Amino acid sequence: MKGFGIHTSLWAHDWTEQAARQAIPEAAKNGLAFVEIALIEPNRAETAVTRALLEQHGLDACCSLGLPEDARPTNNADKALEFVTLALEKTAAIGAKLFTGVTYGSIGERTGKPPTTTELDAVARFLDKAAAVARGFGITFGIEVVNRYESHLFNTTEQAVALIERVGAPNIVLHLDTYHMNIEATGQANAIRAAGAHLAYIHLSESHRGVPGTGTIAWDEVFAGLAGLGFTGGMALESFIYMPPRLAAALSVWRPVASSRTAIIEEGLPFLRNKARQYGLI
């Protein structure tokens, strides 16, 4: 995954034919290289029209998700693997080569305590099996670091790198997110630097998840960190406009984060592109 992309939550969270017909042409019109398709319910995700539209418009795609609450590696590893296997089948059918997100648990998974050795062992065993399934499809398997309010398992780059190196699967990569780093990191550039060669994908999301450039993210630090790392992976603008109640609750989003999709695309996207250009990333 390379270049600038956009998360399809800007249009819809249920990936239907209608969503594909709206999001993919609009992403192409705005000169993006790829779309990130949320597979919230992979059994219902449309694939055939999606693949045809991606080919028609010359776009790449990746897919992402968080696991259901009843299919976590920590409470039902077999069901979690079954769910991820279906999502990987859909990812392959779409023609995407990266599958990422909170692929090791559910969004909002917290026990009120630090992760136990038993939980971390369960996640490592699960990722070893899930990454093997992904390899069978020729898909890279990403893990996204999220903040303490969305998971108690992995909140920092260092924790995720330790997990990746423990599992040792050749196709597992790290996925960072500026929104989460803004909460957890001792500095955006520090978090990026600690990722090293494991970093393959990043969400560019404002501190309030709205229009990039209108919040408190240290964008110069973000892009300087990426440039210093020699980053060549995918950079996805992520802002939530349309959210199903279950996901809104898990993410604690109680109000609109932007006035419109147009504001995010016409104001936020040029802002991010200018920063990336300034630091020689595009």
> pLDDT tens digits for 99-156?
999 999 999 999 999 999 999 999 999 999 999 999 999 999 999 999 999 999 999 9
Question: Distance (Å, rounded) from C-alpha 270 to C-alpha 220?
Answer: 15
Q: What integer pLDDT is reported at residue 70 of this predicted model?
A: 96
202, pLDDT greater than 70: yes
Q: Is the pLDDT assigned to residue 242 strictly greater than 70?
A: no
Stretch 154-173: mean pLDDT:
97
Q: What does the alpha-carbon distance between residue 26 and residue 273 come to, in Å, rounded to a whole number? A: 17
133-138 long-range Cβ contacts below 8 angstroms, 24+ apart: 133/81, 133/84, 133/85, 133/88, 134/88, 134/99, 134/171, 135/169, 135/170, 135/171, 137/88, 137/89, 137/91, 137/92, 138/92, 138/97
Residues 155, 136, 57, CA angle at the centre, nearest 5°? 80
- pLDDT at residue 243 in the model: 66
Q: Distance (Å, rounded) from C-alpha 225 to C-alpha 105?
A: 28
DSSP-assigned states of every residue in 119-186: HHHHHHHHHHHHHHHHHHTT-EEEEE---TTTBSS--SHHHHHHHHHHH--TTEEEEEEHHHHHHH-S
pLDDT at 27 over 90: yes
Place 246 in a pLDDT band, splitting at 50, 70 and 90: low
Mean of per-residue pLDDT scores for the chain: 94
Residues carrying an active site annotation: 144, 238
Nearest Cα residue to 129 out of 169, 184, 175 = 169
Rounded to an integer, the average pLDDT of 244-262 is 73
